[in-house]
Amino acid sequence: MNFIEIVKPKLLDYFKDKNIAVLYGGMSEEREVSLRSGKNVYDALRSFPEIKDNIYLIDVKDGYSLIDDLRIYKIDYCYNILHGTYGEDGKVQGLLDMLNIKYTGEGTTVSAICMDKIQTKMIWNSNNLLNADFDLLNKKNDVNDNAIYFSSDKYIEYPFIIKPIENGSSVGLFIVKNKDDFDRVSKTIDNPYGYFVEKYIKGKEYTAGIIPKLDGTNHILPILAILPKNEMYDYEAKYTKGMTDFEIPAKLDKDTENKVLDMVMKAYESLNTRGLCRIDFILDDNNDMYLLECNTQPGMTETSDVPEMAKSSSVDFRDFVLYILGLSIF
């Protein structure tokens, strides 16, 4: 019996007289992903007879209607499965704090920091955790046939990645191999100040899920190797069945696995995270590990990474969802 199954009876007993809202949908570009994630979470919680009549599915379309719904249903706890802006960046967390309603995931400050990829990378840098070289994209960047230049006289050579500072699900992710690519991408970006440039690291992408145990320690789920059929692990590859193959557990030699586990745990703890998170990283051709980002509200769709990790650990998806809800108690 694993640590999740051990606490399952206590969690069901605790939540049997609590009203629980699954917050899904939202107002970000990741709305469709959240709708899929939320339905799966709702169905999982509703599968338990002890609590099935206390679960409410709330589509968060704006703050006013959310407050009304929370009051109408007399909600005690929220399973927050909103992705992106307003749901993952500290905003809904702050609202729930003001209403004195507990919720899954990170608190207001940590959510805001982890949503901001630049802040995350700066914290990792200050802790000597390796991640790809980066700088902010803006209208003053000079681009030639060799590289992109920044106001600090710093430059990043091709190829490089352009990413939004605050988005998940690989929304707005571009690979730039030459000046023609840059010119084409620039025309699709309305606000360059909302993006940054990151050095492209050639290698294999992996992801690791970390979940706290109730004894105060943290547990790393089986590491997953990502094998997208697209050039990058973009939105299409993430959420279209058959567009990505998974290797789980990832085939790593013991020394590499130990290095990865150590760095993932340090990356998680350096951000003061307290709930389920997913750390994405790349191992390059020299087997050096580069951190990419920390996702504080991983997707729960049929093609999402974390459910695959739980399945590989022989953890029932429904039990896994209940356990995540249970973390909101503490």
142-172 confidence digits (pLDDT tens)? 999 999 999 778 999 999 999 999 875 456 7
| Structure token pair of residue 296 | 């504080």
Among the three residues 199, 219, 247, which one is the final residue of a domain in this structure? 199
Are residues 23 and 90 part of one domain?
A: yes
Q: Where are the alpha helices (DSSP H) in the chain?
A: 3-15, 31-46, 63-72, 91-98, 108-115, 117-126, 179-186, 235-239, 254-270, 305-312, 317-327
Cα first-last separation, the chain:
22
* Model pLDDT, residue 215: 87
Give the CATH number for residue 157: 3.30.1490
Which residues span the domain enclosing 231?
114-131+202-327
pLDDT tens track for 290-308:
999 999 999 999 989 999 9
**Residue-wise pLDDT tens digits, 230-252:** 666 655 656 566 678 889 999 99
Same domain? 34 vs 162: no
Q: Are 273 and 298 in contact (CB under 8 A)?
A: no
Residue 125 maps to which CATH number?
3.30.470.20
C-alpha span between 15 and 81 (Å, rounded): 18
Nearest to 19 by CA among 102, 106, 81, 83: 102
Of the three residues 168, 199, 230, the one that is the final residue of a domain is 199
Please give the single-letter amino acid code of residue 233.
Y
**Cα–Cα distance between 139 and 40 in angstroms, integer?**
42
User: For residues 58 and 65, what is the distance between their CA atoms, to the nearest angstrom?
Assistant: 10
Structural domains counted in the chain:
3
Q: What is the pLDDT of residues 44-80, one digit of tens each?
A: 999 999 999 999 999 999 999 999 999 999 999 999 9
Q: Which residues are catalytic?
A: 30, 169, 239, 278, 280, 293, 295, 299
Does one domain contain both 230 and 293?
Answer: yes
